[in-house]
C-alpha cells in the first residue's frame, strides 16, 4: 500500500501523522507531497517518508502526483492533520483481497482538539459515522483511481466526495474499515471556521455543477446529533455551523477561476 500525505506548513501536526503511518501493522510506502512549506514541514517529512516531492498549486494536484509516483496497488490518502489507528492498512488489504469488485474504502473519521468549539466538533463528527452523504473513501484500488482519473484538479474543496462518487459510478464497490482516523482540529475559532469555509466556498459552484454532486441535507446525522448532544454543545455547534455556512456562501460568490 502507498500512503500519500499532501502538506503545506503542517509542522504542528505532521510528526504525529507520519508516525501513525509508520506504526501500521503492515509496511507501507509513504509519500509526502509538499507545496512550498516555509516551516519545519520538509524536515519532518524527510525524517519519515520514503519520498518527499514538491508540487502544487493545491492538494488535489499534490495527491495525484503522489499516487502516480507510488508503487502500491492500493493507495490511501491521509491529510497532514490526521492520525491513523495502527490497523488501517492491514484491514484494508484483507478487505480488498476478499472482494475483487471492491474499489474504495471509507476510514471512519473522529476528531479531537482544544476548547469548547472543538468539543462541539467532536460530537458533530461522531454523528456522521456511517452516513453516506458525509463520509468519503480515502483508500482506493489503483485500478479504480486510474479508471476514474484521480482527483479533479479543478477542485480544491469537495474533491474527496467527488472522487469517491466517481469511483462508485464506475461500478466499483465501496466498503469501510473498522479502524478509525483521528482529525486533529486544534483550537477552533468562529473566525477561523468562517475563513476556512470562505476559501472552500470558491469551489462550491464548480462542485455543485458535477452530475454526482451530493446534497448538503443530512437528516439522519441531525437526528443522531440531537439525541446524543447536550443543549450547551448544540448551541455551540449551531454557532459554528452558522459561521461556516456564511463562509461558504461568501466564498461561492467569488468562485475559483482556473
Domain boundaries, the chain: 2-252
Per-residue pLDDT at 257: 64
User: How far, in Å, are 220, 226, 236, 246 from residue 76 at the CA level?
Assistant: 28, 33, 33, 32
Question: How many residues does this entry show for the chain?
Answer: 258
Amino acid 215: pLDDT: 86
Q: Is CATH 3.90.550.10 correct for 2-252?
A: yes
Which segments of the chain have a pLDDT < 70?
A: 256-258
Residue 218 backbone phi and psi in degrees, to 5: -135, 65
| Beta-bridge mates of residue 8 | none
For residue range 151-189, list pLDDT tens digits in order.
999 999 999 999 999 999 999 999 999 999 999 999 999
Instruction: Kindly report the pTM of this predicted structure.
Output: 0.93
Res 258: pLDDT: 53
Pairing, β 102-106 against β 173-176: parallel
Amino acid at each position: 500500500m502507498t500512503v500519500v500525505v499532501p502538506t503545506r506548513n503542517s509542522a504542528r501536526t505532521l510528526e504525529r501523522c507520519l508516525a501513525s503511518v509508520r506504526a501500521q501493522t503492515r509496511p507501507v510506502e509513504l509519500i509526502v507531497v509538499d507545496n512550498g512549506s516555509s516551516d519545519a514541514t520538509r524536515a519532518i517529512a524527510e525524517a519519515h517518508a520514503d519520498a518527499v516531492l514538491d508540487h502544487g498549486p493545491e492538494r488535489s494536484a499534490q495527491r495525484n502526483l503522489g499516487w502516480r509516483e507510488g508503487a502500491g496497488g492500493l493507495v490511501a490518502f491521509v491529510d497532514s492533520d490526521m492520525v491513523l489507528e495502527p490497523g488501517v492498512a492491514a484491514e484494508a488489504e484483507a478487505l480488498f483481497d476478499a472482494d475483487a469488485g471492491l474499489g474504495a474504502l471509507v476510514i471512519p473519521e473522529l476528531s479531537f482538539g482544544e476548547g469548547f468549539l472543538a468539543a462541539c466538533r467532536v460530537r458533530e463528527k461522531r454523528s456522521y459515522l456511517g452516513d453516506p452523504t458525509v463520509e468519503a473513501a480515502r483508500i482506493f484500488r489503483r485500478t479504480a483511481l486510474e479508471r476514474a482519473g484521480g482527483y479533479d484538479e479543478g477542485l480544491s474543496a469537495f474533491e474527496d466526495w467527488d472522487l469517491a462518487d466517481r469511483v462508485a459510478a464506475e461500478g466499483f464497490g465501496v466498503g469501510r474499515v473498522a479502524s478509525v482516523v483521528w482529525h486533529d482540529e486544534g483550537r477552533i475559532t468562529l473566525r477561523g471556521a468562517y475563513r476556512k469555509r470562505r476559501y472552500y466556498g470558491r469551489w462550491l459552484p464548480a462542485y455543485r455543477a458535477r452530475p454526482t454532486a451530493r446534497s448538503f441535507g443530512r437528516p439522519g446525522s441531525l437526528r443522531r446529533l440531537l439525541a446524543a448532544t447536550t443543549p450547551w454543545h448544540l448551541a455551540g455547534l449551531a454557532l459554528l455551523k452558522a459561521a461556516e455556512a456564511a463562509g461558504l456562501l461568501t466564498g461561492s460568490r467569488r468562485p475559483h477561476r482556473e
